[in-house]
Amino acid sequence: MFDTPFKLTGPEHLCSAAASLCLEHLERSGTPISTVGSLTESIQYGYTASASTIPSDVRFLRITDIKGGHVDWASVPYCECPVPGSYLLKEGDLLVARSGSVGKSFLVEEVPEPAVFASYLIRLRTKPAFTPGFAYWCLQSRQFWSQLLEMDRGSAMSNVNGRMLAQLQFPVPHTSIQSAVVAFLSTFRARLRGDAVAHKSLPAPLGGVPRIVARIEELAKQVEEANALRQYSTNHTEALTASVLRGVFQRPDARRVILDDVCSNIIDNLHRNPVYAESGVPCVRSADVGYGSLNLESALRTDEDEYVRRTVRGEPEPDDIVFVREGGGTGKCACVLPGQRFSLGQRVMMLRPNRVAVHPRFLLYQLLSPLVQDDQIAPLCKGSASPHLNIGALRKFSILVPPVEVQSALVAELDALQTEVDRLRRLQADSSAELDALMPAILDRAFKGEL
């Protein structure tokens, strides 16, 4: 698409593209170019004050009160502003964020009660020749962002100021054409929201734009449908896996035991951060543990002395289970494969299954099943800002264990299912990358006049 200091949604990108096409066609038709500074009555910074929930004479509109292009005025706080005067908002004012979501703009369409705007906003009040609605769409265009980024070249686009806004240049046609552009773009945005409204027409200088925008909309809809299908497939396969897992573990020949009964050892690691080295032995952290897999390539390294210190309670062996006990990934776990040599980081522990009582991969599948993840781990971590499990709680986890020969058959069935799920996820990931690349290609063709 194109760079912005904050992430645009899909519809925002499409609306920006449509606005950009309108401006491009206007410029090609010879429409006069003017600066924002010459088209505005004032470019003003907002009022500096503290927001308050205590009612006063004026509301205090901040960047954070503008969500999804709308303001819930009932939730906007108040402030003390003895002489609001020039800070009072009125219909048709344009507000631009000068920090945070840098460059994001908002058109004030109503002010139900007196309100002033906060200091991290800049207000543009346009002259009659530059209608507020048309000015708003100029501020959504590629032309807007490319000019700002060019002015701020070499920096991370940390802010926008009034001088930068005043220097922006746009083609500005007669107000009748501006009104037609506003109606067309507003209708396009409504269609993207799902409203059943017909496309508006545009006058002669912009005659080709509606066809191009209609084509963009058609292709965007196809991309959206493909994304929805991909998401449905992902959700369906995950639900199927959960259903099969819950079903196979609720067999009549399964006995309920606690985790401590089927493990010969549960090892809690050193509760301190490792001393890392540039090279050496992998040290597995929570980020290196997936749901059923270990990624030793991503693991940081320690030297041999640190490895020895961190494995004094036991070195990982094939079929041991690495389990994340703390953080956002609490409950993730994976079996150790032959040839894998590593130590454990601060937030992980290790389970050594008693192979006489339980098949290691059967235990892994059970730890990853809803029986453990949803019914036992989630309640213990609910509401915690830093989820964690201690070794005592883990030892008491309840699991279902059928006869060992049944476990082996179930593991074969689950391995086959997991292989299929992994294949589908890879296909979904590939299609996701293709779809993500498709829309920028469509927009690029639109600007080259190839649609």
Count the neighbouring beta carbons within 10 Å of the beta carbon of residue 378: 14
- How does pLDDT run across 408-440, given as a tens digit for each residue? 988 888 888 778 777 766 766 666 566 566 666
pLDDT for 385: 72
pLDDT for 394: 92
- How does pLDDT run across 33-55, given as a tens digit for each residue? 999 999 999 999 999 999 999 99
pLDDT for 102: 86
* pLDDT for residue 244 is more than 80: no
Residue 450, SS3 per DSSP:
coil
Q: How far is CA 431 from CA 233, 397, 434, 438, in A?
A: 12, 39, 5, 10
Count the neighbouring beta carbons within 10 Å of the beta carbon of residue 250: 10
**Helix 360-368 and helix 404-447: axis angle, to 10°?**
50
Under 8 Å between Cβ of 21 and 447: yes
pLDDT for 223: 72
pLDDT for 447: 66
Rounded to whole angstroms, the Cα distance separating 5 from 99 reads: 10
pLDDT top residue among 91 and 220: 91
Q: Sorting pLDDT into bands at 50, 70 and 90, what band is 157?
A: low
* Average confidence (pLDDT) over 133-151: 92
Q: What is the mean pLDDT of the chain?
A: 87
Q: Sorting pLDDT into bands at 50, 70 and 90, what band is 125?
A: very high
* pLDDT for residue 371 is more than 90: no
* pLDDT for residue 379 is more than 80: yes
What are phi and psi for residue 356, nearest 5 degrees?
-70, -30
Q: Sorting pLDDT into bands at 50, 70 and 90, what band is 446?
A: low
**Helix 142-151 and helix 10-28: axis angle, to 10°?**
90
- How does pLDDT run across 261-308, given as a tens digit for each residue? 999 999 987 778 889 999 999 999 999 998 888 999 989 999 999 999
Provide the token pair at 407.
């476990």
* Average confidence (pLDDT) over 161-165: 94
Q: Sorting pLDDT into bands at 50, 70 and 90, what band is 239?
A: confident
- How does pLDDT run across 203-214, given as a tens digit for each residue? 988 988 898 888
Q: Sorting pLDDT into bands at 50, 70 and 90, what band is 381?
A: confident
**153-162, 241-250, 417-426, range with greatest mean pLDDT:** 417-426
* Average confidence (pLDDT) over 101-119: 93
- How does pLDDT run across 339-348, given as a tens digit for each residue? 999 999 988 9
- DSSP-derived secondary structure for 190-209: HHHTT---PPPP--GGGTTH
